[in-house]
Structure 1
Amino acid sequence: MRKPIRFNAFLLNSPTHLAPGMWTHRDDRSRDYLDMAHWLALGRLLEAARFDAIFFADVLGPHAAHGDGLARSIESAAQLPVNDPLPVIAGLSTVTENLCFGFTSSVFAEHPYVFARRISTLDHLTRGRVAWNIVTSYLPGALDSLGRPELADHDLRYDYADEYLSVCYQLWEGSWRDDAVLRDAAAGRYADAARVRAVAHAGRHFNVSGIHLSEPSPQRTPLLFQAGASPRGIRFCTQHAECAFVVAHTPERLAQLVDAIRDRTEQAGRPRDAVRIYAQAAIVVAETDALAAATLADYRRHVDRDAVRALLSGWLGVDFAALDGAAPLTTFDNRAIQSLATQFAQADGSGWTVDRVIDWAGLGGLGPVLSGSPRTVADALEHWFDTTGIDGLNVPYLTLPDSYRQIASLLVPELTRRQRYPAAYGAGSFREKLFGAAARVPDNHAAARYRW
């Protein structure tokens, strides 16, 4: 059997994620994000379709580098308002047995001593079904609100993240021995104090002295995701991540990113396939190609271009409202836009204007939209997987929950017929399900050196 095609549902606890304006569509229920029943129904749907996980994105600031800034981002719901995903995950774990949960959390959100306990708690409650997507808060508003404007420099944020991870690893892996918890009711001893030790970390950003407050959870360290395509981001990824999240609009560009991550992982002393790589692609599937095309055209009529400009402004740090829509990207003397222009041009050889990028990003962000009948979409997915070496897809919705309902009812049966989709969930924790190995980080991972 060839490599299975694996799906994560890619979401934000907000009325809008990567389809700005679609919250106004008659078929979209993303505005119900405040209702736990909405999330529980979605969790049941995704588990029945054997999705690997719900993968929650998150942001800690507004996409406000755009025209009238904050006001327009608020009015267009450009990933605002946005709520904490962790309470939703706790609720979802009560109605699912195998569906796993990825959450995005910035290393600036809270002190690592507090964060480590929060995640151990969640790992216990989900029976080891959680993964942390490590981010460093790219939005300037987030760093200002958190009182850390001095860390706006890209590489400095990764240096901070390295130390943050070191503290977390010491707490998760090294504070409690595996045999510390006794639960000996007859002797009245819950744990052996001699098998619990304090962390003693004195670093540039953190001084931590104390034991981890939680007993060892099923995974200890949660499964680790990271998204970073810059040289510093890839270096961080290959040191820490077990899963990488990348975005590219063509298979050719995606294959370049996959090769770069595999090469750097090997150079870091880990097996070449130690990191599972997930790409991003939205999917519109219907009974026929014509019906899928009509559905996609209907969706495009609901796109809020101002909200797209707001998101692009936040992602790239450039005010897209002030740019000439007809101008080629290559005319702008800006590192972020130059990087985007290079990625797009190298992949398909064509010219990209500001308006073309806005059109592209309006549905599904900077990744592609694969549309058509089940057969057409399955053919496209097989091509992407077989030519790029990716291990899975983060699939953003365009309408919620209909995007996932159509995948479950139309595409999953077609992929199953082709023997390209997991027939059943694996046993155990998220790490066990994905790698078929132990619940704990492997010996070649950076966290392993902190074990007792």
Structure 2
Amino acid sequence: MSNATQSHELLNPMASSPNKIKLGVFAINAHGGCAITTAPEVHRAEDWRTNLETVRIADAAGFEAAIPIGRWRGFGGDSNFGGTSFETYTWAAAIAASTKQIATITTSHLPTVHPLFAAKQAATIDHISGGRFGLNMICGWFGPEMRMFGGSMMEHDERYAFADDWLAIAQEAWTTEGYFDHKSKYFNLVQAFSEPKPLNKPFLINAGGSPRGMRFCAEHCDAAFIILGSHELEGVRKQVRAYKDLAKNEYGRDLKVWCYSYVSVAETQAKAKEYVDRYVIEYGDDEACENIVKELGIQTGIFTPEQADQFRYHFKAGWAGFPLVGTPEMMVDHLGMLSEAGVDGICLSWLDYNSGIKQWNAEVMPLLEKAGLRNPYVPSQEKLAA
């Protein structure tokens, strides 16, 4: 990396934030966000103004990350959940140009884009953001999506072999001065060239949950993005420890672990749960949910059939995220437990993102600061002037 790269090393808050629990906003670029429902107030992805306003609110509140979900087609049912979405490289570029401090992430299905092209896009977004770019790498688990791009999908472990090779090229493009060649099973690059280099080393994320996926995270990534298989302290601690120990013991690396959550905050737990029950039970899209659970179980190995049954409610509520459902004080308890279990950050989603994040900042954030889970966010003069 160049001196310019080194000078921007602390500007990506996913890497540099001192907060015990870091926060992100998740999946706002896709229809429904994380909620598999036909509720009238469900998030509409095609409303760019809502995307931008919500991320700007997160940025001004000191959130560390804005992470989109990568979707190329929906999951059927009445909602066709995820069927409408903004493409994530261009989305991240626009977010980068419109924010001041939040990490701007793209979520990329690696088989759909050539690594040299992706590396160039990544470097461009990194310059637009001033060094705040991150790459969430997806190996391609949803068969109908991958078949759109070539008629077939690789076997599970081969997808990670492809990802190893893909990432090697991207990293060469980010670091190699001048020309380079790369010949392998999947690629043949002759006199490849990519300038400018990123200002900052892109922050790498992957959501691998299988043994092979975990090894990819441990070897290459700065953070693993996981579905929590348990909502209790010891279960979460065991799952997080498995990732961090693998990275430390096998590769000598410090791996961060992020998860995600659906949020419903109210003055009582009963009212918060009633809100979720309404959009899950009354309006939940069972057909789309079944399509997702089936595909995830077949292609990723994340869930046993028994676990999938238990998580169907949570899938409809928020893509099986950790439930942050209750009073503002309960949010502190939940995030405190996750932090104690070793979770470094959590991405949030709401049925209605715009009103939800405003409520979170007004009612929950001060309590998180009082509990020592987050520091009060004070923008630097440099960021205010940007």
Shorter chain as denominator, the TM-score bin is: 0.7 to 0.9
Q: Distance in 1 between matches of 2:189 and 2:209?
A: 31
**Aligned-pair CA distance for 1:104:** 0.9
Q: Secondary structure at the match of 1:280?
A: strand
Q: Cα RMSD over matched residues?
A: 2.5
Which residue type is aligned with residue 260 of structure 1? A
Q: Secondary structure at the match of 1:7?
A: strand
Paired position in structure 2 for 1:408 = 361
2:371 to 414, 418, 437: 418
Whether the aligned pair in 1 keeps the contact of 2:46 and 2:84 (CA below 8 Å) is no
**Aligned-pair CA distance for 1:403:** 2.4
Given the alignment of the two structures, is residue 126 of structure 1 paired with residue 129 of structure 2, yes or no? yes
Q: Distance in 2 between matches of 1:296 and 1:106?
A: 30
* Residue-by-residue CA offset, 1:350-391 (whole Å, 9 max, x unaligned): xx8x4x4322321012223121111122112212221x1110
Given the alignment of the two structures, is residue 265 of structure 1 paired with residue 230 of structure 2, yes or no? no
Identity among equivalent pairs (%): 22
**Structure 2-normalised TM-score?**
0.86
Paired position in structure 1 for 2:338 = 384
Paired position in structure 2 for 1:93 = 96
Which residues of 2 match residues 247-262 of structure 1 at below 5 A?
Answer: 247-248=227-228, 249-251=230-232, 252-262=234-244
**Aligned-pair CA distance for 1:426:** 8.5
Whether the aligned pair in 2 keeps the contact of 1:123 and 1:217 (CA below 8 Å) is yes
Q: 1:317 to 1:81 in 2, by over 3 A?
A: farther
Whether the aligned pair in 2 keeps the contact of 1:9 and 1:55 (CA below 8 Å) is yes
Paired position in structure 2 for 1:373 = 327
2:262 to 261, 270, 282: 282
* Residue-by-residue CA offset, 1:52-108 (whole Å, 9 max, x unaligned): 111111133543xxxxxxxx34x4222112330222222222332111122210111
Paired position in structure 1 for 2:40 = 25
Q: Distance in 1 between matches of 2:126 and 2:334?
A: 35
**Structure 1-normalised TM-score?**
0.74
Paired position in structure 2 for 1:339 = 304
Paired position in structure 1 for 2:27 = 11
Q: Secondary structure at the match of 1:132?
A: strand
Given the alignment of the two structures, is residue 294 of structure 1 paired with residue 309 of structure 2, yes or no? no
2:62 to 50, 74, 92: 50
* Residue-by-residue CA offset, 1:128-172 (whole Å, 9 max, x unaligned): 1111011111111123222162x5311011001101111111111
Q: Distance in 1 between matches of 2:89 and 2:27?
A: 13
Given the alignment of the two structures, is residue 395 of structure 1 paired with residue 348 of structure 2, yes or no? yes
Which residues of 2 match residues 345-360 of structure 1 at below 5 A?
Answer: 354=309, 356-360=310-314
Q: Secondary structure at the match of 2:332?
A: helix
**Aligned-pair CA distance for 1:264:** 1.0
Work out the number of aligned pairs and report it: 361
Gaps of 5+ in 1: 64-71, 176-196, 319-334, 345-351, 428-452
Q: Distance in 1 between matches of 2:100 and 2:57?
A: 12
Q: Distance in 1 between matches of 2:379 and 2:183?
A: 40
Q: Secondary structure at the match of 2:209?
A: coil
Given the alignment of the two structures, is residue 105 of structure 1 paired with residue 111 of structure 2, yes or no? no
* Residue-by-residue CA offset, 1:155-210 (whole Å, 9 max, x unaligned): 011001101111111111113xxxxxxxxxxxxxxxxxxxxx20111111111123
Gaps of 5+ in 2: 1-17, 381-386
Whether the aligned pair in 2 keeps the contact of 1:61 and 1:140 (CA below 8 Å) is no
Whether the aligned pair in 2 keeps the contact of 1:50 and 1:422 (CA below 8 Å) is no
* Residue-by-residue CA offset, 1:379-434 (whole Å, 9 max, x unaligned): 12212221x1110112222222222222111111111122211323788xxxxxxx
Q: Secondary structure at the match of 2:318?
A: coil
Greater C-alpha Rg? 1
Q: Secondary structure at the match of 1:228?
A: coil
Which residue type is aligned with residue 134 of structure 1? M
